[in-house]
Amino acid sequence: MSTGLIIALIVIVAVVVVVAAVLTWRARGAAAGGGSLKRRFGPEYDRTVTRHDGDERAAARELAVGVPPRPSGSGGG
The CA-atom distances, in angstroms, between 33 and each of 1, 14, 53 are 47, 28, 18
Q: Is the pLDDT of residue 77 over 50?
A: no
pLDDT recorded at residue 1: 79
**pTM for the predicted model, two decimal places:** 0.43
- Count of domains forming the chain: 2
**Mind listing the pLDDT tens digit for each residue in 8-58?**
999 999 999 999 999 988 877 655 554 677 888 889 889 989 988 988 888
The values of phi and psi at residue 69, to 5°, are -60, 145
**What does the radius of gyration of the chain's CA atoms come to, in whole angstroms?**
21
Whether residue 7 is contained in a domain is answered as yes
Where residue 63 falls among pLDDT bands split at 50, 70, 90? confident
Domain that holds residue 16: 1-32
Q: Are residues 57 and 37 in the same domain?
A: yes
> If you ran DSSP here, which 8-state letter would residue 66 be given?
T
pLDDT recorded at residue 73: 56
Q: Are residues 41 and 27 in the same domain?
A: no
The dihedral through the CA atoms of 19, 20, 24, 25 has a sign that is negative
